[in-house]
Each structure stands twice: as structure tokens, then as C-alpha cells.
Structure 1
Amino acid sequence: MELELILYLALMLAVAETFGWIFARIEQPVVLGQIIGGILLGMFFPPTTEVKDISMLGVLLLLFLAGLESSVDELKEAGKAGLSVAVVGVAIAFLMGFGIVYPFKGFEQALLYGALMTPTSVSLTVRVLMELDALKTVEGNTILTAAIVDDILGIVILSIVISMLVQGSINPIGIGLIFAKVIVFILAAIYVVPPAIDRLLRKVVHLGFADSTITLSMATLFAFAYLAEHMNLASILGAYLFGLSLSETEFRRPIFEHTRILAHSMFIPLFFVDVGMNIPLRSISEVGIFALVFSLGAIASKVIGCGLGALLAGLDRRQSLRVGIGMIPRMGVELAMLAIAMNAGIVGEDAYVVIVLMIFLSTLVTPPLLKMAFKEEASSEYSPNLLS
């Protein structure tokens, strides 16, 4: 049974809001509620190509907002501990993901799943640390700074992997060319684009079209995403890097606030509901063991990798364990990455089940583990900030 597109969108948004509210009430991530709602909706109304095309705008806006929330200065000031945790954590996660998947699905899929295991979403961790009054501790500061670097590394790795798999060739020259493209893209986003877009937006405001800064930003965002695709890179890399470029201008805050309202009230909920609608329930039993092993590996990889990175940066064992646990959660970036990979035709729909289970388990175990790790600590042991 098919509904007209406009009614389909209305139904999806209603489901997103309802299930998001229910999950928020039981102190679970809203995203999971939207996905569960999408699964139930998909049992009655199959997903359509038109809806998927619209929901893909949510992917770009999600990464654009992530870029806006970052900043080049924050990356430069991430500190030894944050950088070490992010780099080692991403490396271990990728290698563990590759090692787990290779026996099941072969070399190319192992590369992709390894990349999908790398990002971290610390919004849940931040909420728990705030409840424990531990956000301003050494561990809290390390997690926050590591998350900034972690996002960029994860997106870059996935862009490189997708580019290699789409081209169908994995050789040193091809990999070197992809790396060169990524580096050029990043350098342009940091040094060339910010002053250019800042001057352009200033002129728009000077001409009396202040509201047009949002429209112009959206147009440039989609152009960046297209440019990344045209360069055989992932469109999410273009979206993220343009957000990072805009974060260096005085228009960062108003553009973020306006875009956040638009994105989170419509396009991002549509994306997550569409993810749920595209989860093939018939394949849950088929990928059950694999999905569980992958999810447990994803949890262990961050505890081990990020914990090791914290140890190498000089934190003690207890602090390093807390950092590792705090970096466990996964959330929207992985699904955005997966959507791009699926659009490129390099992974099947069963991957949705695997990644959603990973998100569910990682968000489920983090709060109790984090509270246990901090439970026996006296508040007098905390120091303001030892990262400098």
C-alpha cells in the first residue's frame, strides 16, 4: 500500500516525534526511538525511493551541523591526551572491525565495516558526566577533545574506503591519489574557504539580504557535497568540511541555530525513520550472531583503543578506563556513513541491522559502565585540567 508522498512524510514525522518522545521519557537516545518507530512503520508501509532521496538531505545536514560544532582552533588545541585517544582509538577500532568482519564477509566488506566502527558519539557520555559532576575532570576534558578529532578521522577513513571500493581497485597509486584529494579538500576547507565565504556573506548582509545568508550557506553546502562526490570522495566529507569552514566565520552561530531547527524538525528525523523502514526484519536472524559479535567488538575496541591512547598520554589506569568507556557510544554518524555506502552500492540492506544493533548496545552499556567507573572516586581527586 502506497501513500502519496506528502502524506508519507507527514506520517514519518509523526512517528519520529512520537517514538522520539517515548524514548526520551525513558532516558534513551531519541535517535533509537525514531529508528524503532521506522521499523514498525515499515511493516505496514514500504519505503519509497522519493522518501529516501529526501531523507538523504538529513545525512548532509547532520554532518554539516557536526562540522559547525567543531572548529579549527579546537582541533589545534585538542591537546596531547585528546589527540592520542582519538588516533589510537580510531586505529584499534578499524583494525578490530576489519579482523572481526573478514572471516564473515571478505576483504572489501571488512574494510567498510572497519571504517563504520571508527566514529564515536559522546552526547550520551556528556549527559552522564554532567549527572556525575565529572564533565570538567581530566577524563571529561579528554573525552570532549578526543571526540572532535575522532569525528574527522572517522569521516576521512570512510571517505577513503568508499572511494577505493567504488573505483573497484585497491593499489598504492590509487590510495595515494585518494589521500592527496582528501588532504587538498581539508586544507582548502581550513585555509581557503573560510575567508572567501566570510567575505561573501558579509557582502550579502551589507546589501540588506541578511536572511539570504542561510539560503546561500545551504546552496554552498550542497555544492560542496557534490564536489566531493565528483572527486570520488564521500559527499558527507564535503558537508562536514564546509561546516568546519563556516565555523571559522562570524556567521557560525546564527547559521547553526537556523539550520539546527530546520534539520532536527524535519530532515534528520525523516532520515532516522527511513533507516528503520529499510531494516529488513527477515534478515535479523541471518545476521544475528555476526551483528552481536560486531557490536561487542565495537564496544571493546573503544575501551581498549581509547584507554590505551589515554595511557600513552600520561593518564593513570583508572582515568584511562573511564576515557575508554566514555568513548564507547555510537550514534548518527555511522548511519550517515552507511547511507552513503549503500547509495554507492557497496553494501547491502542487512548492514542496517548490524549498525543499528551496534548503536543500541553501545548506548545501552555506556551509562552503567561509566557510573561504575566513577562510583568509588572521591571528588577531591579531581583536578581542573591537566591537558595543557
Structure 2
Amino acid sequence: MQTMIFSDLIQPIPILATAPENGSIVLAGVLLSLVIIYLASKLGGELSKAVDLPPVLGELVGGVVVGASALHLLVFPESGAVAADSLLMKLLQWIGDLSPEAVVNVFETQSEVVSVLAEIGVIILLFEIGLESDLRDLKEVGYQAAIVAVVGVVAPFAAGTAGLMFFFNVAAIPAIFAGAALTATSIGITSKVLSELGRLKSKEGQIIVGAAVIDDVLGIIVLAVVASLAKTGEVDVFNVIYLIISATVFLLGSIFLGKFFNRSFVAIADKLQTRGQLVIPAFTFAFLMAFLANVIQLEAILGAFAAGLVLDETDKRKELDKQVVPIADILVPIFFVAVGAKADLGVLNPAVPENREGLVIAVFLIGVAIIGKLVTGWTFIGQPQINRLAIGVGMIPRGEVGLVFAGIGSASGVLSKPLEAAIIIMVILTTFLAPPFLRVAFKGSPEAAEVEESKEALEQADLLG
């Protein structure tokens, strides 16, 4: 009897290998990539939630773990990786008995498909943010929130851009992109903490949330401008002016015309009888707006954000919010995990001499990110009762909005690895620090005792009930 060794038992699966142009093996690669993405996002999100931190941070860290910084299960060619760097490609090569040339083709195609899914995810994310950015909330705080927002955008943007160019000799466009990433403020994270503290309806809470909404609007305009600059590769003053004007007109015009469009949208949704009668017209509108923004040389996410602001004014906003959430839950994690996977945090390892500059850049960006938002609390004159520290701290977390900037910058190819990793570190650290700092800032305020008394009264009422 002939002896059969273990290697004879393990043979490649010929079905996948015989597929024309490796179509089936590409599909297998995409499916396995999604399995890795969803496992990383859920495990990371649950662990982050367990320690009372935003789940989006866990998704990002999960991407870092499975990506170029650690396990190499999910890597992308735009980050400098090749097929041989991917453990997933090695598995597919063994399964499909692929030649080295075929592995390269599969790697590039699979990465492109996942990147497209991530782009759709970020479009849906900005659409969802637009739906949550209720412009009516600004009526209560008006010019105060506007002042905080403008200072919170201008100060870190100017300091970050100028500092990178002057101290670190970073080129203009990458420096502008990094400066733009410093302008963001996460509405979701700050709102959650304010709600837990019972301060969401306080004067400071309203100012913070209102300013965060304006920050998003200004930040998306800035992102549209700098992303378009990245495509041209140069800073043209007339082009910058055109982009600022076109982005502003596009956004404000969309909101203005949306008042007339809302009635038609509701009427169409009411007449449709099949499944998806509300969510499909909404996404059709969002994708159309994203396409129009892209056509006029703006970022597609600006169009999606504008679509969200428009549909936020409809009578079906709450119902639409509920229907958008599960779709976002499927596609948005792909974006966050991909951002983390593409970031090679190894470039910040201080043990390697050439990495030390990137680490210094990260420290610089973190300092600018914190100070640039803290100063917003001191923009009020003649209002001694305002908790200025709480307002400044409430504007610090970058959260998912900051990751959008990092992801777009990475996809454009203008960011060096050290600068991209430094931006992600800045986003992570500011988001980690803000919740506990905000609790401390409000704890020392004059109203803290009243809030504690109210909580105790509610607890006693529950016990008695």
C-alpha cells in the first residue's frame, strides 16, 4: 500500500481555480474580507462599549488590529502593501491554486471592491449625520453657537496647517488636509455625554450641540475644498475661491430648495405601496445629490450631507431615521475598519529613528486639537455664568467626523504614512479624553449640586413607585 502523506490530503480546491478571470476567487476574497471586517467591528465595538467609550473607536482599533499594523489580514495596495503582505491572499492562493500573477490581480480587484463599499459606507454615514443635524436646534443659541463654531474651526485649522508647514516642512496640501482634520467635532459623542450628565438642555449643552452642528457644516465644506485641492495637486487661489463659493452655494441652495422638495418627497413616498417606499426614494435622492456634488468638483459626501439636511425637514424624518440605521450598520463599519486597516501605526514606533518625526507630529497635532477647541469657551463677553471650560472640552472629540477626514485623505494619496497615522492617533486620543474631561468640567459648576439632587429625587421616586 502506498503511503499517503499529509500534503497529499491537502489539495487546492479546483472549482475556484477554474473560474474565468478568477471571478469566483475574487468574490471569495470579498466575502472573507467582509467576515473579517464585521468580526473586527463588532468585537472592537463591544469592548469599547464595555468600558464606556464610543463604539466607533472600537471599530477603528479593530481595523488597526486586522490591518497593516498587526495581523495583515486586511491590507490595501494604496497604503503601500502588496499581495504577498496579505495573509488573506495567501489563503486564497492555496484554496484556488493561483499563480503569482493571478494573486496580484485578485488582490487589486478585491481591495478595490472593498474600498468602493467603504466609500458607499462613508456616503451613507454623512447622509445619516445630515439627518441628525437638526438646524432648528440652532434657534435657541443663535450667534453664540456660531461664534464657538467659527473659532473652533479657524483656530485649529490655522495653527495646525501653519505649524506643520513651518516646524515640520510639510508640503502645503498635506498640511492643509491635516489642518482640516483638526476642525471636526463629533455631535454623537458629545451629545451622549451631555445626556448622561443631564446637561443636554442646559445653556452650555445647547451651545455645544449647536456649535457642533455648525462645525459639521463648515467642516464638510472645508473637506470638500481640500479634497478637491488634492485632486489637482496644487493650491490655486481662484480654484480655492471657486470651491468655497460652490460648496457654500451647493449646501445652502440644497437646504433652501429642500423646503419645496420635501412636499413632493412625502407625496411620492405616500403613494408607493411596495417595500422600501420611504428608504429607497431617500437613498436615491442622497446618491443623486452625491453625484451632483461630484460632478461640480466637490466631494460626494457633501451632497449626501446636504441630502440629509434636506430630508431632516420632512414630516417622515423620525421614520426615515429608523430605516436608515440598519443600512448604516451594515456599510458604515466597512469604512471605519478600512481606515484603521490602512493606517500603519508602526511608523510611529519611536525605536526606529526615522519614525520619531512622525511621533513628534502626532504630539503636535494632539496639542493643537485640544487647545484649538478649548479656546472656544472664552469667546463670550459679558456672560460670567457660562461654564467656559465645559464648552471648550465639549468641542474636543473628533470621533467619526475626524475619521472621515482621515479616510478621505488616505484615499486621495496626499498624506504620508506618518502624517496619516498621526491624524488617526489625534482622533483616537481626543475622543478618549473628552468624555471624562467633560464630566470633570461640569462637576465643578454651580449647577452640579442641583443636577445631583434631581437624580436623587428621581431615584427615590422610582423606589417609592
TM-score, normalised by the number of residues in structure 1: 0.90
Show the counterpart of 2:271: 206
Q: Secondary structure at the match of 1:205?
A: helix
Show the counterpart of 2:214: 149
Structure 1 residues 208 and 350 mapped into 2: Cα distance closer, same or farther (>3 Å)?
same
Ranked by relative contact order (alpha carbons within 8 Å, sequence separation 6 or more), the top structure is: 1
Show the counterpart of 1:7: 32
**Cα distance between partner residues in 1 of 2:182 and 2:286:** 26
Show the counterpart of 1:179: 244
Of 35, 57, 72, which aligns to 1:44? 72
Maintained 8 Å contact 1:94/1:117? yes
**Identity score, percent:** 30
Maintained 8 Å contact 1:38/1:272? yes
Q: Secondary structure at the match of 2:278?
A: helix
Show the counterpart of 1:386: none
Task: Describe the superposition over 1:224-270 as per-residue Cα deviations: whole angstroms up to 9, x where unpaired.
Answer: 11221221111111110111111111222222211112102x11112
**Cα distance between partner residues in 2 of 1:174 and 1:157:** 13
Structure 1 residues 191 and 134 mapped into 2: Cα distance closer, same or farther (>3 Å)?
closer
Show the counterpart of 1:162: 227
Query: Aligned AA for 1:246?
Result: L
Bigger shift: 237-246 or 274-283? 274-283
- Alpha-carbon shift at residue 75 of structure 1 (Å): 4.1
Q: Is 1:338 equivalent to 2:406 in the alignment?
A: yes
Q: Secondary structure at the match of 1:336?
A: helix
Of 34, 42, 49, which aligns to 1:24? 49
Q: Is 1:272 equivalent to 2:356 in the alignment?
A: no
- Alpha-carbon shift at residue 317 of structure 1 (Å): 7.8
**Bigger Rg, structure 1 or 2:** 2
Structure 1 residues 86 and 11 mapped into 2: Cα distance closer, same or farther (>3 Å)?
same
Task: Describe the superposition over 1:38-66 as per-residue Cα deviations: whole angstroms up to 9, x where unpaired.
Answer: 12212231332221211221111111011
5+ residue gaps, structure 2:
1-24, 76-110, 350-354, 452-465
Bigger shift: 55-64 or 354-363? 354-363
Maintained 8 Å contact 2:140/2:206? no
**Cα distance between partner residues in 2 of 1:377 and 1:120:** 23
- Alpha-carbon shift at residue 352 of structure 1 (Å): 3.6
**Cα distance between partner residues in 2 of 1:346 and 1:101:** 14
Query: Aligned AA for 2:53?
Result: Q
Q: How does 1:231-380 map to 2 (within 5 A)?
A: 231-264=296-329, 266-285=330-349, 286=355, 287-304=358-375, 306-309=376-379, 311-312=380-381, 314-316=382-384, 319-379=387-447
5+ residue gaps, structure 1:
384-388
**Cα distance between partner residues in 2 of 1:380 and 1:361:** 27
**Cα distance between partner residues in 2 of 1:37 and 1:380:** 37
Query: Aligned AA for 2:344?
Result: P
Of 53, 59, 81, which aligns to 1:34? 59
Task: Describe the superposition over 1:77-103 as per-residue Cα deviations: whole angstroms up to 9, x where unpaired.
Answer: 541211111111111121121122213
| C-alpha RMSD over aligned residues | 2.4
Q: Secondary structure at the match of 2:297?
A: coil
- Alpha-carbon shift at residue 119 of structure 1 (Å): 0.9
Maintained 8 Å contact 1:65/1:243? yes
Q: Is 1:60 equivalent to 2:123 in the alignment?
A: yes
Structure 1 residues 315 and 58 mapped into 2: Cα distance closer, same or farther (>3 Å)?
farther
Bigger shift: 268-277 or 195-204? 195-204
- Alpha-carbon shift at residue 197 of structure 1 (Å): 4.9
- Alpha-carbon shift at residue 328 of structure 1 (Å): 0.7
Q: Secondary structure at the match of 1:212?
A: coil
Of 144, 156, 174, which aligns to 1:109? 174
Query: Aligned AA for 2:261?
Result: A
Bigger shift: 21-30 or 135-144? 135-144
Q: How does 1:84-123 map to 2 (within 5 A)?
A: 84-102=147-165, 103-104=167-168, 105-123=170-188
Q: Secondary structure at the match of 1:4?
A: helix
Maintained 8 Å contact 2:118/2:331? yes
Task: Describe the superposition over 1:159-190 as per-residue Cα deviations: whole angstroms up to 9, x where unpaired.
Answer: 12222332344344222222231232123211
Size of the alignment, in residue pairs? Answer: 379
Q: Secondary structure at the match of 1:173?
A: helix
Query: Aligned AA for 1:51?
Result: V
Bigger shift: 60-69 or 124-133? 124-133
